Amino acid sequence: MSIIEVSGRSSQKAANFIKEKLYDASSKRLHHSYRNGPSKAPGFLDDYAFLINGLLDLYEFGGKIDWLLWAIQLQDELFLDKQGGGYFNTPGEDPSVLLRVKEDYDGAEPSGNSVAAINLIRLASIFDAEKSSGCKRNVEHLLAVFETRLRELSIALPLMCCAADMLYVPSRKQVIQIDPKNTKEMEFWENNNANIAQMARSSPPEKPVMAHVCQDFKCSPPVVTPGALRELLNKIVSAASPSA
């Protein structure tokens, strides 16, 4: 078994543990820690942001739609400042917490706001135009909150600088077409990006897995093998790299 497969299995095992032991499905809330049982402390912004980031990685690694669905379910509502933009560190449900802050320092670990910005941009690349715009709008509001900090001391927020770059530089994405007989996945894509569902329906039955590389709503011709996809990606990266 390769190191990639070992890492993938370990990551899925960790995610399953969190969902079984640290997540309350009825309230859709995370617990902060676990030792002989989940702690009473609720999850903070960092707990949610880093978990969502990991779930998106797992989805990209294995394509299991459940990871993506959980990531979307965890995003936004609990910590988002809908009036001022950005994310608070705490959910705001404890009356004893008199001051809610928005972390703005990427130290040994990135701040929850920086990771949340990256998560939103990644989700924006998945959704159709309307939902994608909503994600990007939240990122723009977040960056506006920290604009002074970014301008005067950008070295303190390197990951948030990356988020700003990702937001304003045209992105590429790989669309892996799904099996049109998979009703759960088809329902998700019908509701969130009908173009991908249409790609799945139009896939020739003898070639059930095809990949496209898309940028600015334009997609390459489909490829059907990992080697062909790797070659296509290498060509695109080479073409985009500045000349020596």
Q: State the pLDDT at residue 244.
A: 46
Of residues 8 and 215, the one with the higher pLDDT is: 8
Q: pLDDT digits over 126-149, tens only?
A: 898 888 999 999 999 999 999 999
* 230 CB-contact burial (10 Å; exposed 0-12 / middle 13-18 / buried 19+): exposed
What would the two tokens of residue 90 be? 């705490």
Q: pLDDT digits over 6-35, tens only?
A: 998 999 999 999 999 999 998 889 999 999
Would the pLDDT of 165 be above 50?
Answer: yes
pLDDT category at 243 given cuts 50, 70, 90 is low
Percent with pLDDT over 90 in the chain: 52
Would the pLDDT of 239 be above 80?
Answer: no
Q: State the pLDDT at residue 236.
A: 79
Q: State the pLDDT at residue 64.
A: 85
Q: What are phi and psi of 203, to 5 degrees?
A: -70, 130
In order, the DSSP letters of 191-216 are HH-HHHHHHHHTS-TT----EEEEET
Q: Compute CA distances 198 → 32, 52, 193, 201, whole Å.
A: 40, 27, 9, 5
In order, the DSSP letters of the chain are --HHHHHHHHHHHHHHHHHHHSEETTTTEEBS-BSSSB-SSBP-HHHHHHHHHHHHHHHHHH--HHHHHHHHHHSSTTTB-TTT-SB-SS-S--TT----------SSS--HHHHHHHHHHHHHTTS-HHHHHHHHHHHHHHHHHTHHHHHH-GGG-HHHHHHHHHHHSPPEEEEE---TT-HHHHHHHHHH-HHHHHHHHTS-TT----EEEEETTEEPPPB-SHHHHHHHHHHHHHHHSPP-
> Does residue 112 come out as left (phi exceeding 0), alpha (psi in the -120 to 50 range) or beta?
alpha
Q: State the pLDDT at residue 175.
A: 66
**Mean predicted lDDT score pLDDT of the chain:** 87
Would the pLDDT of 240 be above 90?
Answer: no
Percent with pLDDT over 70 in the chain: 91
pTM, to two decimals: 0.86
Report the C-alpha gap between 141 and 144 in whole angstroms.
5
Lowest mean pLDDT among 103-112, 162-171, 182-191, 232-241: 232-241
pLDDT category at 152 given cuts 50, 70, 90 is very high
Q: State the pLDDT at residue 98.
A: 72
Q: State the pLDDT at residue 141.
A: 95
Would the pLDDT of 206 be above 80?
Answer: no
Residues 115-134, mean pLDDT to the nearest whole number: 92
